[in-house]
Amino acid sequence: MKKNKTIYGRSETTKRDWYLVDATGIILGKMASKVAVYLRGKHKPIFTPHADCGDRVIIINAAKIRVTGKKTKQKMYFTHSGFPGGDKLFSFEKMMAKSPEKVIRLAVAGMLPKNSLGRKMIKKLSIYNGAEHPHPKQNIQKLEV
């Protein structure tokens, strides 16, 4: 009697690809969910929930993303220093003016696991404000969102 064996992916043996996303005119949430799937490795048949099987993703033109509705004025980002009265609120508009890379990183990180595995996965994400990136030697594939 032949038994079927489940194959589990391992972080060490996973082949990692490179993907490039041009964020020009793309809606933030749709892009973040697609990028999170590729960082996590859910698009691969060897996906294993407890292993980092994901690929590397490069996002260019981070300042050109868009959001729907009234989110530019109403969406708020909250930070706290840990000290009494150390809370700060920033609108989406101010965060985009200050650091558009951080807006995308927060959106993608919110869709990854909230543990040490998620912290490893978010390190494979590179975000650049302009159209240039310092990864020309890699075999980069274009990812359509």
What is the reported pLDDT for 92?
A: 97
What is the reported pLDDT for 121?
A: 97
What number of CA atoms fall less than 13 Å from residue 83's CA on the CB side? 3
- What structural domains does the chain harbor? 18-142 (3.90.1180.10)
What is the reported pLDDT for 123?
A: 97
What is the reported pLDDT for 44?
A: 93
Q: Please, which pLDDT band fits residue 9 given cuts at 50, 70 and 90?
A: confident
Kindly report the CA angle at 135 between 118 and 54, in degrees rounded to 5?
25
Query: pLDDT digit string (tens) for 67-121?
Result: 999 999 999 999 999 999 999 999 999 999 999 999 999 999 999 999 999 999 9
Q: Please, which pLDDT band fits residue 65 given cuts at 50, 70 and 90?
A: very high
Query: Distance between CA 117 and CA 99 in Å, rounded?
Result: 25
Averaged pLDDT, 48-58: 95
What is the reported pLDDT for 8?
A: 85
| pTM to 2 decimal places | 0.91
Query: Distance between CA 18 and CA 143 in Å, rounded?
Result: 9
